[in-house]
Chain A
Amino acid sequence: MLSKIRESGNSWKNGTVKNITFIVTKDCQLACKYCYLVGKNTKERMTWKVAKKAIDYVLEREDEFREESVIWDFIGGEPFLEIDLIDKICDYLKTEMFRRNHHWFNSYRFSFSTNGINYHTKKVQHFIEKNHKHLSIGITIDGTKRKHDLNRIWKTPEMELGIQPKPEDEKGSYDQVVKNIPLWLQQFPDASTKVTISSADLPYIKESVLHLYSLGIKEVNINCVFEDVWKEGDDILFENQLTELADAIIEQRLFESHSCSFFMEHIGKPLSRERDNQNWCGAGLMLAIDAKGNFYPCLRFAQYSLRNKPAWIIGNVKDGIDQNKLRPFLTLDRTTQSKQECIDCEVASGCAWCQGENYDAADTHTVYQRSTAICKMHKARVRANNYYWNKLFRKLKLEGRREEFEKQKSKVKNPIC
């Protein structure tokens, strides 16, 4: 019996959350080809001194950081390469939030985006056991072995010196990562994975999403990169893959228990200039801290994330946050950054932007020039998405379950006692 349609994006606390990111290391075991972190290196690691200063700065200002909840986010490189530091940071956070009677003690999470390679290690497992109820861990597994290994390759000593291996010498990381998936899902049954699509990945989208489902991952958050990597014909290939995926999901009734972020009911509609003008990108509302103790509006503004522009630093642990430097982010809206073509677009809803990519690709020093490299890909997605929902709604109607779907739109997840 159809009890629900599983929807994706069941976000904790529905948005009243401060996201604080510690860039604990720039080191990683992998050298993923699509990684936007262009300046990764083995040298920059956050020290405990810097981390403690940053934590004290934030927690001392409870009246300035008034969000109801906090997500303490750890990123790299590969964050679990710094598990000792992370463990120390989290212990300090818990103790200090409690000791200071900070309101965040009642509402916090520790979040990790990991390549999964170290997931099984004793130290990481001990950390998980210690903090289990407050953890959100996403392992990035890109799909089938051939898709995953296309991009997510091991780093070699030669790469550190700038020497790229020949394609035949590249070694993918799938085998090491997939070993840890069962353990991860056992510990976090509702976990989701984030999959990134670049040009070379397009032929493998359908098989990859289905493969991830077969591994037990029920929620796949999959997105195209914002950068200008797309070639002529990529949009058609993308559309075809999504259409085939749509057929598979519907025929196998996977929509009842699985979700894929490519298919969302609300995307592909025109947007009102007045009513639908809000910024959805959280840059400016979050805070990222690097190894030197510099503050950024989002980690995408740290130098190692940028190809063309200097870092956009908004302060540091010593001098605090310069609120003036946050103002552009907090007043950015959809129309001010967009060309008329985007404002008038008949399928505008769901077309995302990234302020970091805006800035990096812009002709001047601004976040107000929307990067539109994904335009064709978004339109292709919209066409496939329309196909999916039309087909699904028709199927539900023929089964006499269309009304039931409308009633059951709310998610059923995370019950507690």
Chain B
Amino acid sequence: MEIRKIVGKVSPEERDEIQKLFERKNGLAELGKIVTVDNDELYEKLVKDMGETGTKFQQWWDEKAKQYGWESHPKGNWEVNFQTCEITLVVNEA
């Protein structure tokens, strides 16, 4: 069973930061399906970027969680709504 609870809100600027990282992460993942080792330069650039973007993505969550002190749960994860800037704690009780 999924329980959802709004636990906070970020500013529009903070939302923009994470949205950009989220989009980039998705773009890199999809690019990874078509760029192969054969294309040396591009492949290396892609791998490097994936690492950096993933790190920045996690950093954002870590920093904001600490800054705002959002409620957390061992079986839960946070979601950000790009329209409302709200942070929702989603707990999967199953």
Q: Is the CB of A106 within 8 A of B84?
A: no
- In the complex formed, the residue of B with least CB distance to A69 is B23
Measured between beta carbons, the chain A residues less than 8 angstroms from B90 are 417
Measured CB to CB, the nearest residue on chain B to A135 is B30
Residues from chain B with a CB closer than 8 A to the CB of A10 are: 83
The answer on a CB contact under 8 Å between B34 and A94 is: yes
Say whether B27 contacts A415, CB under 8 Å.
no
A384-417 vs B, Cβ < 8 Å mask (1 yes, 0 no): 0000000000000000000000000011111111
Known: A91-B34, A134-B30, A417-B78. A412 touches B42 (CB 8 A): no
Other-chain residue from B33, B77, B84 in contact with A410 (beta carbon distance below 8 A): B84
Contact B79 A107 (CB under 8 A): no
Q: Is B46 an interface residue (CB 8 A)?
A: yes
CB atoms of A416 and B35 under 8 A apart:
no
Q: Is the C-beta of A49 less than 8 angstroms from some C-beta in chain B? A: no
| Interface size, chain B (Cβ < 8 Å) | 27
Task: Enumerate chain A residues within 8 angstroms of B82, measured Cβ to Cβ.
Answer: 414-416
B30, A94: Cβ atoms closer than 8 Å: yes
Partner of B30, one of A131, A413, A416, A417: A131
Query: Once the chains are docked, how many angstroms separate the CA of A416 from the CA of B87?
Result: 9
The answer for the CA separation of A91 and B35 in the assembled complex, in Å, is 9
Which chain A residue has the least Cβ–Cβ distance from B22? A416
Contact string, B13-39, partner A, CB cutoff 8 A, digits 1/0?
000000010111011111101110000
Residue of B28, B34, B45 with most partner-chain A CB within 10 A = B34
In the assembled complex, which residues on chain B have CB atoms less than 8 Å from the CB atom of A416?
A: 22, 79-82
Find the A residue at minimum CB distance from B81. A415
Q: Are A134 and B78 in contact (CB under 8 A)?
A: no
With both beta carbons as reference points, the residue of chain B lying nearest to A410 in the complex is identified as B84
Once the chains are docked, how many angstroms separate the CA of A132 from the CA of B26?
Answer: 9
A134–B81 CB distance below 8 A = no
Alpha-carbon distance between A411 and B85 when the two chains are bound, in angstroms = 11
**In the complex, what distance in Å separates the CA atom of A99 from the CA atom of B78?**
32
Contact of A108 among B27, B45, B88 (CB under 8 A): B27
Given contacts A414-B81, A415-B80, contact A98 B34 (CB under 8 A): no
With contacts A95-B35, A107-B20, A412-B84 known, is A134 near B26, CB below 8 A?
yes
The CA of A144 and the CA of B49, in the complex, are separated in Å by: 48
Residue A105, interface by CB 8 Å: yes
CB pair B42–A410 under 8 Å, yes or no, is no
Q: How far is the CB of A231 from chain B (nearest CB, A)?
A: 41
Contact A410 B83 (CB under 8 A): yes
Q: Give B30 Cβ to nearest chain A Cβ, in Å.
A: 6
Cα distance, A10 to B82, chains bound together (Å):
11
Q: How far is the CA of A130 from the CA of B78 in the complex (A)?
A: 26
Chain A neighbourhood of B34, CB < 8 A: 91, 94-95, 130
List of B residues within 8 angstroms of A107 by Cβ: 20, 23
A133: CB under 8 A from chain B? Answer: yes
Is A98 a contact of B31 with CB atoms below 8 Å? yes
Judging by beta carbons under 8 Å apart, are B83 and A417 in contact? no
* Alpha-carbon separation in the docked complex, A413 to B84 (Å): 9
By beta carbon, the residue of chain A nearest B83 is A411
Encode A13-32 as 1/0 by CB contact (under 8 A) with B. 00000000000000000000
- Find out whether the CB atom of A417 lies under 8 angstroms from the CB atom of B79: yes
Let me know if B27 and A105 touch, CB within 8 A: yes
The CA of A372 and the CA of B20, in the complex, are separated in Å by 42
With A98-B46, A107-B20, A410-B83 as given contacts, are A415 and B88 in contact (CB-CB < 8 Å)? yes
**Apart from A134-B26, A416-B80, 5 more pairs, CB < 8 Å:** A95-B35, A105-B24, A107-B20, A131-B30, A410-B84
Could you list 19 examples of A-B contacts with CB < 8 Å? A91-B34, A97-B27, A98-B45, A98-B49, A106-B27, A107-B20, A130-B30, A130-B33, A130-B34, A133-B26, A133-B30, A134-B26, A411-B83, A412-B83, A413-B83, A414-B81, A416-B79, A417-B77, A417-B90
Interface residues of A (CB under 8 A from B): 10, 91, 94-95, 97-99, 105-108, 130-134, 410-417
Enumerate the 3 nearest inter-chain pairs by beta-carbon distance, A residue then B residue, closest first.
Answer: A133-B26, A415-B79, A415-B81
Interface positions of B (Cβ within 8 A of A): 20, 22-24, 26-31, 33-35, 42, 45-46, 49, 77-84, 88, 90
